[in-house]
Amino acid sequence: MRAFQVQSHETAPVIIDLPLPEPSNSQIRVRIHACGLNFADLLMQKGTYQDTPALPFVAGMEVAGVVDALGADVSGLNVGDRVAVFGGQGGLAEYGCFEAIRAVRLPDAMSFEDAAAFQIAYGTSHVALDYRAQMQPGETLLVLGAAGGVGLTAVEIGKLMGATVIACARGSEKLEIAKAAGADHLIDAKTEDIRAVVKSLGGADVVYDPVGGEQWIAAFRAANPDARLLPIGFASGEVPKIPANHMLVKNLTVLGVYWGGYLQYKPAVVTDSLTQLFAWYEAGKLKPHISHCLPLDQTAEGMELLRSRKSTGKVVITP
């Protein structure tokens, strides 16, 4: 099979031929139809992600496809089932072996491409806003990076949860995508003062931030007393410092969110969230935005779209 393999943190990944993998007793083998790219894939290539696998490894965190073989101890799944899996690695290949416990059956109406774009982005936003921030109807949600892979889902889910959503992104094209997802107010991060605009709109009760850097600082200063701030990631490349004295004065709460971590020690948080998200999808309330769908040979180009922030929503690879 062909696969996109990271062989060194100092050199570019390569597409190579590997033997067809065999599932262990607890695994399934999946013929992969689609793999969603994530910013974490870029960090793994550099060796800076918190869950970077040992070298060499096949990149690709989330996949959708058809069960092709079963390990001896697997029950509840059958060869031919359509599934999505968050494997953490191994998705940018024609086949992959993954723990069966991480597989979820797909709704009949969900395409493989939608499924590969769904779990991490929607799961992160729903767990962040519902489980972590416990956001309530009528609150104001500020979403930074609002046209990106996770930011756009936060706009959608925020609206479904009854929030007033302020979307911040760079440029009119990205802001139009956020508006189409339901944003009530738009801020152009290239030309506008984030803090001033948010304050003029009454401040933010919840801040969802996959960007970090200066945007985090502006959002922090625009947060209302008792606000909850959610650091999701640091696409700007800068991990900001959090001034504890300001947290104290305004009674602010900063809530870290690592969706994949719950799979390790509290998996019901993820499974309960996905149940709700799939129900919303089947009801037509959620629709993944995929700006680029590329073949395996163009995986490097897909990664560059993420690195240069030229994509919106998700980039999906179809092995």
Residue 78 lies in a domain: yes
Provide the CATH number for the domain around residue 188: 3.40.50.720
**Sign of dihedral through CA atoms 166, 237, 266, 101?**
positive
Q: Which of 56, 43, 48 is nearest to 13 (CA)?
A: 56
Short-list 84, 105, 29, CA closest to 316: 84
Q: What is the pLDDT of residue 50?
A: 86
Residue 127 falls inside a structural domain = yes
Number of domains in the chain: 2
pLDDT tens string 22-76: 999 999 999 999 999 999 999 999 999 988 999 999 999 999 999 999 999 999 9
Residues 68 and 181 in one domain: no
Using the 8-state DSSP alphabet, how is residue 93 labeled?
B
The one-letter amino acid at 60: G
User: pLDDT tens, 163-183?
Assistant: 999 999 999 999 999 999 999
Listed in sequence order, the DSSP H helices in 24-96 are 39-46
Q: Do the beta carbons of residue 59 and residue 91 sit within 8 Å?
A: yes
Alpha-carbon torsion, ordered 48, 239, 145, 228, to 10 deg: 120
Q: Are residues 8 and 96 in the same domain?
A: yes
Does some domain include residue 143?
yes
Same domain membership, residue 244 and residue 146 = yes
Does residue 48 sit in helix, strand or coil?
coil
Domain carrying residue 39: 2-118+288-318
Q: Same structural domain for residues 44 and 134? A: no
Is 274 inside any structural domain? Answer: no
User: Between 231 and 268, whose confidence is greater?
Assistant: 231
Chain CA centroid to CA 246, Å: 29
Question: Which tokens go with 269?
Answer: 């948080």
Tell me, yes or no, whether 145 lies in a domain.
yes
